[in-house]
Amino acid sequence: MENFSEVMALFLSVDNFLAIAVGVIVGVVVGAIPGLTATMAVALALPFTFSMEPVTAILLLVGIYKGGMYGGSITAILIRTPGSPASACTLLDGYPMAQQGKAKKALKTALYSSVVADMISNVALIFFASYLAKIALNFGPPEYFWLICFSLTIIVSVSGDSVIKGLIGASLGIIVSTVGLDAVYGTQRLTFDDYNLMDRVSFIPLLIGLFAIPEVIEFYTSKVAPHIRTAVSGASLTWKEFKGLLKTIVRGSLIGVIIGAIPGTGATSAAFISYSEAKRTSPRKANFGKGEIEGVAAAESGNNGVAGATLIPLLSLGIPGDVITAIILGAFMIHGLTPGPVLFQENLTLVYALFCGIMVSSFVLVFVGNAAIRYFSIIADIPKTILLPIVLMFCIYGAYAVNNSTFDIGLMLVFGIMGFIFNRTGIAAAPFLIGFILGPMFEDNLRRTILISKGDLSIFVRGPITWVFILLTVASLLFAIRRYWMSRKEAMA
Amino acid sequence: METSEKQFVEASEAHYGRWNPNSVLGGVFSILAVSFLFYVIPRYIEMPFSMQHPLLSPQFLPQLAGWLVFVLSALLMVDGLINPPKRGEPEELRRGVPVMRQVLMLAAGIVYAFFFEQLGAIGSGIFACVLLFLASGLRSIWLYALTIIFPVVVTLLFIYLLNVPLPVGTLWESFFQI
């Protein structure tokens, strides 16, 4: 009871509710603008959280994440441009529906499927995160070392078209993560005698540089694409129709939860698996791909079911499930918190306050989503010619705000150019970020293990938990090799 | 033209030759990896006087990552030489972009990178926004009012709402002192 009142005291503040509302609105708006991504929005919002309380800061970012997941489907349905890869599946039936004059129905289906899936995902988070954290309390450095090795294999799934390029990106991220003073010996590593680099490469300039600046450079180095105007028309979703879709939505949500809880599998695969499962079991399977309302519900529930579940490995083990949770992990660290089992021991009140906020964010999404449907044309019709100079301004101010230093602006621009080169050469930026975040964790746990065993390497296979992670790592690597051969075969065909 | 010949011509148009982005990228990264492993690491990573185990070395992780980059780049190069990738559609969008558009974007980047403290947050914001609006070919004079409104509003937002101090501009400070 005492804990409950502490949680409520921490959660029930105007700032938290405001952060959730602003986060969801920003997420939906950014997600609804083609070319801007939720990842970019979360990265840009990070500097704004410096002066906030940790709970408020994390809730703002989670709000953007959730809003962005839904916002991406708006453009997928209306203009056949998915705001995020996860919304690609939604356009299969959403866009044909819009063409048939049922845009409003498709958007409402997407919204309510997203909200239901989000809630189911949140409940799963609340139940499983603490349970998993309890198990993780038995982990020592060798177990964590293998867990991080396993997590590093998620790079394969975020590598985009080329696994090799993704792995190169991750290795480069690891190299950049080693810049600074060595944690054990205090010697300089790759600092080039510049004192600005002694305290590692700042996370925020790197993040903004990788995910926001390339969009700006890409826009000014490409021809101006014609601006597409949109319209939301047709009848809305009826209660009877919604009831008929509930089974599909619940199934899609559960698929999303299971997939989201596994690091690296991602919302895109959840959406497609949910969609194919709905198609397989539907009596109207022939209508899928031609504007079937069940297709929209399946895709959206699948991809939104992932949102809460990706926070399970993040909160309980400290392992990011995807790029956005990797950024949220950075936010935790900026606020002096380390996600993982210790967080549940030392900051249980904070964790439960976060859970409360995450639940509230689902309800906020209903209101914001409905407003977005009504005022969508205003949101989406802001031309990029006006929007991107403002985005660049936010990037610059955000990077400067970290240390009040122009060095960070330069650093951000360097990573921006790097991200742009990555885009042009087909190297995904996500593996670079995962490498940058997991690299120091890998090294830290490797060194701790060696120090506690006094150099005896048999400690790395000391018990069943280490073996479980070794097997998972090997299985994941085999899957990666298989994926590489399949993609090669496809390229050759 | 024979069908098979036609297919061959179409296929060669759709694919790159031996010197394609993958083989070039693989080659460039291989060279960079070698220079990183044999020049940068020994020169810019200080070694402690004594170490308990080679795996504790400050050079271990950078070396591991460097070798990974080298091996993967070599693989990418070989893969690019054997299986040239297909040409992508976005390349069409990247052709014939006015040079002035790119120069103005670069100029905006330079303003922010080198003159942020001198011009201040508002000054550099206005200057860069004007350059970027010009780069997009915006003609309406009213739209240019936004180049003043946005930097002022965003700067005030940072300073007063988020308590993030942004530079006023050393140039203006000295100007007003005079």
The DSSP string of A248-313 is HHHHHHHHHHHHHHSTT-HHHHHHHHHHHHHHHH-TTGGGTTSS-HHHHHHHHHHHHHHHHHTHHH
Dihedral, B89, B92, B94, B97 alpha carbons, nearest 10: -160
Please give the Cα distance from A103 to A93 (Å, whole number): 11
Q: By CB neighbour count within 10 A (0-12 exposed, 13-18 middle, 19+ buried), where does A192 fall?
A: exposed
Note whether A356 and A55 are within 8 A (CB): no
Domain end call among B92, B111, B127: B92
Strands (E), A102-235: 180-181, 188-189
**Nearest by Cα to A102 from A77, A124, A79:** A77
Note whether A186 and A396 are within 8 A (CB): no
Q: Tell me the one-letter amino acid at A441.
A: M
Other CB atoms within 10 Å distance of the CB of residue A254: 19
- Same domain as B171, residue B102: yes
With a cut of 80, say whether residue B15 has pLDDT above it. no
Q: Which residues of A touch B47 (CB under 8 A)?
A: 187
- Same domain as B172, residue B104: yes
Q: Does residue B23 belong to the interface with chain A, where contact is any CB pair within 8 Å?
A: no
- A220 with B101: Cβ contact below 8 A: yes
Q: What letter does residue A227 receive in the DSSP assignment?
A: P
- Same domain as B130, residue B86: no
Q: Choose among A172, A187, A224: nearest Cβ to B69.
A: A172
- B40 with A425: Cβ contact below 8 A: no
Q: What letter does residue A426 receive in the DSSP assignment?
A: T
- A164 with B76: Cβ contact below 8 A: yes
- Cα R_g (chain A), whole angstroms: 22
Q: Choose among A172, A221, A455: nearest Cβ to B102.
A: A221
The string of DSSP letters for A138-156 reads: T--HHHHHHHHHHHHGGGG
Higher pLDDT, B35 or A43: B35
Give the ipTM of the model, two decimals please: 0.87
Interface contacts A/B by beta carbons within 8 Å: 177
Q: Tell me the one-letter amino acid at A47.
A: P
Q: Which residues of A touch B7 (CB under 8 A)?
A: none
Do you know the residue count of chain A? 493
**Nearest by Cα to A432 from A46, A143, A159:** A159
- Same domain as B124, residue B173: yes
Please give the Cα distance from A302 to A257 (Å, whole number): 8
- B69 with A439: Cβ contact below 8 A: no
Q: Which of A190, A397, A451 would best serve as a mutation to test chain B binding (most B beta carbons within 10 A)?
A: A397
Q: Evaluate the CA torsion angle A110, A113, A119, A123 in order and state its sign.
A: negative
Other CB atoms within 10 Å distance of the CB of residue A122: 22
Residue of A nearest to B157 (CA): A48
> pLDDT band at residue B8, thresholds of 50, 70 and 90?
very low
- Same domain as B7, residue B78: yes
Domain end call among B72, B92, B112: B92
Chain B closest-CA separation from residue A1 CA (Å)? 35
- Same domain as B105, residue B82: no
- Helices A54-79 & A38-45, crossing angle to 10 degrees? 150
Q: Does residue A172 belong to the interface with chain B, where contact is any CB pair within 8 Å?
A: yes
- Same domain as B71, residue B26: yes
Please give the Cα distance from B160 to B74 (Å, whole number): 52
Please give the Cα distance from A440 to A151 (Å, whole number): 13
Please give the Cα distance from A225 to A95 (Å, whole number): 20
Q: Please give the mean pLDDT across all residues of chain B.
A: 83
Q: Choose among A187, A390, A392: nearest Cβ to B47.
A: A187
How many helices, marked H, and strands, marked E, lie in chain A? Answer: 22, 2
A:266-325 residues touching chain B, CB 8 A cutoff: none
Q: Which residues of A touch B104 (CB under 8 A)?
A: 220
With a cut of 80, say whether residue B58 has pLDDT above it. yes
Q: What letter does residue B15 receive in the DSSP assignment?
A: B
**Nearest by Cα to A201 from A393, A346, A31, A414:** A414
Count of alpha carbons within 13 angstroms of residue A167, beta-carbon side: 23
- Helices B99-135 & A384-403, crossing angle to 10 degrees? 90
Domain containing residue B65: 3-92
Note whether A302 and A254 are within 8 A (CB): no
* Domain boundary assignment for chain A: 2-492
- A189 with B109: Cβ contact below 8 A: no
C-alpha to C-alpha distances, A97 to A29, A84, A92, A276, nearest whole angstrom: 22, 19, 9, 18
The string of DSSP letters for B43-55 reads: HHBPPPS--S-GG
Q: Does residue A171 belong to the interface with chain B, where contact is any CB pair within 8 Å?
A: yes
Q: Which residues of B touch A421 (CB under 8 A)?
A: none
Chain B closest-CA separation from residue A118 CA (Å)? 30
Dihedral, A65, A71, A72, A76 alpha carbons, nearest 10: 170
Please give the Cα distance from A376 to B28 (Å, whole number): 45
Pairing mode, if any, of strands A188-189 and A180-181?
antiparallel
Please give the Cα distance from A137 to A58 (Å, whole number): 23
* Interval B98-109 mean pLDDT: 91
Other CB atoms within 10 Å distance of the CB of residue B130: 18
Question: How many structural domains comprise chain B?
Answer: 2
Please give the Cα distance from A391 to A385 (Å, whole number): 11
With a cut of 70, say whether residue B46 has pLDDT above it. yes
A:36-55 residues touching chain B, CB 8 A cutoff: 47-48, 50-51
Chain A closest-CA separation from residue B166 CA (Å)? 7
Chain B closest-CA separation from residue A158 CA (Å)? 17
How many helices, marked H, and strands, marked E, lie in chain B? Answer: 8, 0
Please give the Cα distance from B14 to B5 (Å, whole number): 14
Tokens of A7: 């949680």
- A187 with B46: Cβ contact below 8 A: yes
- B75 with A164: Cβ contact below 8 A: yes
Please give the Cα distance from A473 to A36 (Å, whole number): 34
Do you know the residue count of chain B? 178
Residue of A nearest to B63 (CA): A175
- Same domain as B156, residue B115: yes
A:455-484 residues touching chain B, CB 8 A cutoff: 455
Note whether A55 and A10 are within 8 A (CB): yes
Q: Evaluate the CA torsion angle A252, A255, A261, A264 in order and state its sign.
A: negative
Q: What is the pLDDT of residues B120-170, one digit of tens each?
A: 999 999 999 999 999 988 878 888 898 999 999 988 888 887 777 888 887
Chain B closest-CA separation from residue A386 CA (Å)? 7
In sequence order, what are the residues at sequence separation of 6 or more whose Cβ sits closer than 8 angstroms to the Cβ of residue A145?
Answer: A442, A445, A446, A449, A460
Q: By CB neighbour count within 10 A (0-12 exposed, 13-18 middle, 19+ buried), where does A123 fall?
A: middle
- Same domain as B171, residue B108: yes
- B164 with A394: Cβ contact below 8 A: no
> pLDDT band at residue B90, thresholds of 50, 70 and 90?
low
B:64-93 residues touching chain A, CB 8 A cutoff: 64-66, 68-69, 72-73, 75-76, 79, 83, 85-86, 90, 93
In sequence order, what are the residues at sequence separation of 6 or more whose Cβ sits closer than 8 angstroms to the Cβ of residue A281?
Answer: none
- Same domain as B103, residue B35: no
- Same domain as B31, residue B102: no
- Same domain as B102, residue B87: no
Q: What is the pLDDT along chain A (493 residues), one digit of tens a residue?
A: 567 788 888 888 888 999 999 999 888 888 777 667 778 788 888 888 878 888 899 999 989 988 888 887 887 787 776 767 677 788 888 888 888 888 888 989 999 999 999 999 989 988 888 888 878 777 888 888 888 888 887 777 666 677 888 899 999 999 999 999 988 888 889 998 888 888 888 888 888 888 888 888 988 888 766 665 556 667 778 888 888 899 999 999 998 888 888 776 667 778 888 888 888 888 887 888 888 999 999 999 998 888 888 888 888 888 887 778 888 888 888 888 888 888 888 888 888 888 898 889 988 998 888 888 877 656 666 778 888 898 899 889 888 887 888 899 999 999 999 999 998 888 888 889 888 888 888 998 899 999 988 888 888 888 888 898 899 889 888 887 787 777 667 666 6
Residue of B nearest to A383 (CA): B136
At A189, give phi and psi (nearest 5°): -125, 115
Q: What letter does residue A375 receive in the DSSP assignment?
A: T
